[in-house]
Structure 1
Amino acid sequence: MGATHKSLARRLPTLTLMFSLAIGVLITLVLNLQLNLHTTEQLNHLGTTLSTQLAKIIRDPIIHQDTLSLQVEVDEMLRVDGVKRTSVYDASHRLLVQAQPAHLQERELSVHTSPITIGNTIAGYVTIDLDRRHFSASFKELIRTFIIFWLVLTSILVLLSIQWGRKISTRLNHLSQQLPGDESIKLDELSLLEQRIAPLLATRQSPTEDQFACHSSLLGIICQNLPRLESLLNQEHFESLMIRLDHLVDDATELYGATRLSGSRHSIYLEFSNLDEDGDHRLRAIYCATALFQLTHQLLATQGITVELAGAISSSQQQPYTSKLLNERNHEQRVEHLMTLLNKAVTGEILLDKDTGSHASLSEIDLSPLAEDSPLYRVNGLNDSAAKLVSQQLALLNRDH
């Protein structure tokens, strides 16, 4: 087989490493920020508490100007873990006493001050300097532990992604080798498999349609003013209009799970199949017709063009034949029956035959008899839930137009 590039065996570990690095850096930054905030909060609380406490203790020494007692108290405060300097000032901020260790580094200190009050008078100030490194040491250890854990986890994930990438790459290549294709094309394993399996998917046959589909609804839509449009528009404009209408019908056919059949007399025929008599094929046909009527009006009205559409739906039980000739004859009979309904429909109207209109699965549809003695039914509208569903489906169909 052709050589592949950008192999999953290489890309998966690379993506795993990049993702892990991004997540690890993000978590580390957030964790560091939170721990710094917590450290600051802890420093502020302890600094305020200690300075307030010391300010109360030294009131009497301040009143009696007992410098020795003041020095004893500030020296005692220095024994508290994390306290690096304690100072007492008078009311004019003149230093009275101070306690601090030798060679004190100023840059990592957090300063907290409280006034010394006697009555309503400020007699001085107490300042306590706390060592920020002392309080952040345990948090930094936590960050280091997290980084070690994250590096170990990243290594494990990268090793696992290498193994998984090789296994996935080998299995995809094995599948591609069993399918025919151009040996010279260089693609990654997944793209190569998609390219080689595309012809198989394009020619797949659905057993629901060909062998076991016993119940179906046939939707016919007639363009009543098509001959007049063809005579009014130039050939190029008319052809572009028909191409656009074809695209609308094809998209709706795919969305609603229908099969487009050959038409006649300016008509479109879509078949909706189901294994179950009580399946949703009747509802899908009505939803599809409603969506096509609305979408055609919205998109073509912008060009000042009105396509007059009318629809009809008939349902029946089908028994597929082995003979193509018999299947084609059966199809012609169903189309002839549907044409009689279409001839009775006016612009914007959707008619149902008796078997379709009387079925219990159409409880969401507002129906009425076409006439007092007529076996046919007219679709008057959808209930709220059905109308909301069709509106959402219209949004999907509108994306590409």
Structure 2
Amino acid sequence: MAKEARAKAFLSSYVLLGLFMFLVLDTGFRVADNAFHFTSPFESPNRSLIWWTANGFVREKSAPDIALLGSSLMMTAHHAGDATKLNQVQNEVSHFHSACLQDFLADKTGQKPTTFSFAIAGQMASDSYLIARTLLAGDKQPKVIVYGIAPRDLIDNTLPSAASTETFRYLSRIDDYSDIALTARTSFNEMFQFGLEKMLYSLSHRPNLIAWQHKLAYTLAPFGQNAITANELQTPFKLRRLAFSQLPDDSGANELKVGPYGAEPEPYRDNTQEYRQRYKSIKQKTYTSQLGYLEKLMKLSKERGIQLIVVNMPLTPGNVALMPAGFYDQYKSKVGAMAAANGAEFLDLNKPNIFEQKHFADTVHLNGLGGVEFFKLLSDELALNRSFGAALSTTQ
């Protein structure tokens, strides 16, 4: 009797009633959204760099001739190089066209290509593949992809899984990644979360719901949304790094600006300890997985008729010395062989005789001087590359 009473009490409990109501609302949300498209996959509660970039690309009227991919190594060369060449402050969240590459190629070839940069801090090879797969398609497909790569993009010891990056999480709301959903996740918690999101529509669309909440908060704020967003925020760099260790990437429209080299004192920053941690005890599983995504990028480019140029980015000798003995040469050999087998080109631009310490802001990132020098050298190499020339001369 007591057991039956407990069962009856449970079935009539508020917990069960609440669960039932939640499932009804979740199903209703799914049906209504599929019918009337309330949500947008490009919407996000946090303005990450991939959010700024993807939405910036959507606003482009035509496909670029050249798409740039890469991590912060390519990103800083792009922003700082253009800031120095043009003697003009560049905004990282809205500066997508490479003046350096366009102008230097025009000088070398007589043709000025259009460009768009998808280079984002922390970009892994898996992220680069997803950007190409999801965004560089259809009428927005470029003729050439220039992908700046370095060992960190394949072996970062601080990476939990391919699915853990902001780029993966954001783009998975735009495209269906069912084919890599399980292999991209490495922990039970990630698998469990993925399973719940597949079952519960409101959970998979949680970013949209939070974005709506933010809009409502702005609307109800005493001075309205415009008064809040018009305030030019300038969060100190150290505070931003601390915040991003606990919170999603979120950058305001005025927070990430890069000035010309020499406009302000730029002391060399020694980030040896950071990269010692990133290169520490290379996880073979991560390395193999990221090489697999790199190969996927190469095969995808070949299938779509896009010429892929893989560029080994400049590093300081001190940074290379942090890697296990022999690894750097092995990495270059493996990436070069993979490129040759898949119709891609491999350019090694890590040339210590050209890139001296004066060209670096730290052990891996080029400063404004280095950015200009990098794109000059890249343009020289591309101008002589037959595959690049043939791809650029094609009509789409």
State the TM-score, normalizing by the size of structure 1.
0.19
Larger RCO (CA under 8 A, 6+ residues apart) = 2
- The structure that is strand-richer by fraction is 1
State the TM-score, normalizing by the size of structure 2.
0.19
